[in-house]
Amino acid sequence: MLTINDLQVHFDVDGDGDAAVFGRMFADHIGRWNQAREAERCRRRDMERERSLGDRDAAFGELDW
């Protein structure tokens, strides 16, 4: 396991203010985070749906081994 206790990032940008650069970087990061969150939510929903199908078959004794 890797733990980062202190991380500092410095960058120089010509022509843009710090607020504009931060806004673009933040929007990009939040967009990627939201896509990952939605993908995880869909995976969990699909797994739960598949799990419930298996449970339902077992409950009604319809499993053929």
The predicted-structure confidence for 16-28, as pLDDT tens digits, reads as follows 677 888 888 888 9
Confidence (pLDDT) at 42: 94
Encoding tokens for residue 14?
């010509």
In eight-state DSSP terms, residue 14 is S
This prediction has a pTM of 0.51
Average pLDDT over residues 32-60: 82
Smallest Cα–Cα separation from 48: which of 38, 40, 37? 40
**Residue 37 pLDDT exceeds 80:** yes
